Amino acid sequence: MNKTIVIGCDHAALDLKLKVKAHVESKGYTVIDVGTHTNDSCNYPDYAHAACEKIRGGEAVLGILICGTGIGMSMAANKHRGIRAAVCSDTFSARMTRMHNDANVLCFGARVVGEGLALDLVDAYLDTEYLGERHQKRVDMLTAIEDNEAAR
Ligand code: RB5
């Protein structure tokens, strides 16, 4: 099983990302950190793109993207084919988006959640398996939207 997680952030979330990175590593995962690596102002789509490329290329199985709100990261990630990114600020949603939506990217906001909740979100997300079965048809419908958009 691929136990590699890609993580990324913008300048609003560097401190929290480093805590999340250490936490994910402590759970036995290998982490690819696509940046940012400084507090200098930067643009979240660059880091969402870098992380999604790792997932699309098979180097990472899941991703975690953090910006100020998580919203910009999720918007940018969801522009990528095959990426299902969910911005969550409660553990129920973080768990359910793995279970039902097969979300392959978890996003949250460093200006929205504190460290404790962030690590709980990560646990809820990473410790949950996709159920498949009846949910696969719906995930396939998401892929069909991508196919239709690509053909327009
Ligand atoms: C940066 O100030 C902020 O806009 C960004 O981190 C994010 O919250 C965007 O969605």
As beta bridge partners, residue 37 has none
| Residue 140 CA, ligand 1 centroid: distance in Å | 31
The residue-averaged pLDDT of 80-86 equals: 97
Specify the pLDDT at position 1: 65
| Residue 90 CA, ligand 1 centroid: distance in Å | 19
**If you take atom 5 of ligand 1, which residue's CA is the nearest one?**
68
* pLDDT (tens digit per residue) in 99-140: 999 999 999 999 999 999 999 999 999 999 999 999 999 999
* pLDDT (tens digit per residue) in 2-36: 799 999 999 999 999 999 999 999 999 999 999 99
Measured from CB, residues less than 6 Å from any atom of ligand 1 are: 10, 12, 44, 67-69, 71-72
CA–CA distance from 42 to each of 2, 9, 50 (Å)?
Answer: 30, 10, 13
Specify the pLDDT at position 11: 98
Specify the pLDDT at position 28: 97
**Overall number of domains in the chain:** 1
- Residue 111 is encoded by which pair of tokens? 């200006």
**If you take atom 10 of ligand 1, which residue's CA is the nearest one?**
72
**If you take atom 3 of ligand 1, which residue's CA is the nearest one?**
68
Specify the pLDDT at position 2: 77
Contacts of 28 (CB under 8 A, 6+ apart): 3
| Residue 2 CA, ligand 1 centroid: distance in Å | 30
**If you take atom 6 of ligand 1, which residue's CA is the nearest one?**
68
Sign for the pseudo-dihedral over CA of 21, 84, 51, 110: negative
| pLDDT for 78 beyond 70 | yes
What's the per-residue H, E or C state across 65-129? Answer: EEECCCHHHHHHHCCCCCCCEEECCCHHHHHHHHHCCCCCEEEEECCCCCHHHHHHHHHHHHCCC
- Among residues 9, 42, 67, 88, the one annotated as catalytic is 67
Q: Which domain holds residue 29?
A: 4-151
Catalytic annotation present for 67? yes
User: Residue 42's domain is classified under what CATH number?
Assistant: 3.40.1400.10
pTM strictly above 0.75 = yes
Specify the pLDDT at position 125: 98
Query: How many angstroms separate the CA atoms of 100 and 44, rounded?
Result: 27
Query: How many angstroms separate the CA atoms of 147 and 141, rounded?
Result: 10
